[in-house]
Amino acid sequence: MLYYIMELQIMAAGESYLKSTAAFSDRGNYREVFANAVSKICTDVKLGGVRSCLAIGPNEGLCEIEFIKRCQTNISKFIAVEPDHASAEQLRRSLRSSLPGVESQVFETTVQNWKGPDVLVDLIMMFQVLYRLSAVERQEFLKTVHDSWLVFGGYVAVQTNIRTKLLDCTSTSLIFEQLGTPLPTSEEIEADFLKAGFTKHYEHEMRVKRDLRDPDEDLIPFYQMDRVITLAELREAMKGLISEGNVNDFHVMTIFKSTN
Ligand SMILES: C[S@@+](CC[C@H](N)C(=O)[O-])C[C@H]1O[C@@H](n2cnc3c(N)ncnc32)[C@H](O)[C@@H]1O
């Protein structure tokens, strides 16, 4: 049943996911905030020993490629799992042009349906994708990642859109609450990582400004979780926020390490 919902969600987003990423991005300063954050993170966390990486749900890969380049990793292998066809095609092109000489593989499927990498990897990136898994799936997935996909001493870089403890009235977390699909808290996600055997290595918070006035169809893929939503529902859920103009999207990048 869960897989059916997942497929439904991806089909609903369909070919439009790639197009909508650009439209969504134009509504805020996410790229700029992300680039600044990664510069800081990679000064603090040394990832020069990373030779292979896996990206879960990278879409066209803008953030993941930026992370790999800014962190001065020494990768020779980039594996990706991306279910959206148009995004996977664009990702293949981006990998060829941005990381020439790096062997790349793009698997066009969901992470739940994927068999895993043939070899253990040094780094796994999960940016804005973990909340696409249910709580139970997330726990099982992180255990598999820890036990079977990552080298001992390897890193997982996780970026999530967090639900703040005190929901402030200009936070986009409210939209997910209104739609009946609240985001997991960063504490819940961290607890899952610790339970799977990881230790928390580093954390950096980001605040992205977004202009959500005049919401259109392009925003739907970003707020659609375990059921298909309509534009009318999304507008209703955004009502209080729309009048605010610029609203806050809170993100956190956490680096976990496999140490046992
Ligand atoms: C919000 S976008 C994030 C894109 C990118 N990681 C970033 O941070 O800019 C979510 C991505 O996850 C993909 N996705 C959705 N469900 C997934 C699943 N079950 N397994 C793997 N990827 C998934 C979507 O196709 C989409 O490209």
Task: For residue 246, report the distance from its CA to the centre of ligand 1, in Å.
Answer: 24
Phi and psi dihedrals of 254, rounded to 5?
Answer: -120, 135
Q: Residue 163: pLDDT above 70?
A: no
Amino acid at the residue 250: F
Q: Residue 73: pLDDT above 90?
A: no
Q: Read off the CATH number of the domain in which 227 is found.
A: 3.40.50.150
Provide the residue range defining the domain that includes 78. 2-258
> Structural domain tally of the chain?
1
pLDDT per position as a tens digit, 26-43: 889 999 999 999 999 999
User: If you average pLDDT over residues 63-76, what whole number do you get?
Assistant: 94
Give the predicted TM-score (pTM) of the model.
0.91
In whole numbers, what is the pLDDT of the chain averaged over residues?
88
For 107-130, b/e burial (b = at least 16 CB within 10 A) is bbebbbeeeebeeebbbbbbbbbb
Q: Residue 227: pLDDT above 50?
A: yes
pLDDT per position as a tens digit, 193-220: 999 999 999 999 998 888 888 888 888 8
- Give the per-residue pLDDT at 212: 86
Residue in the structure block whose two tokens are 């991005």? 25
- What atom in ligand 1 is closest to the CA of residue 62? 9
- Show the ligand 1 pocket: residues with CB < 6 angstroms: 6, 17, 56-59, 63, 81-84, 87, 110-112, 127-129, 132, 222
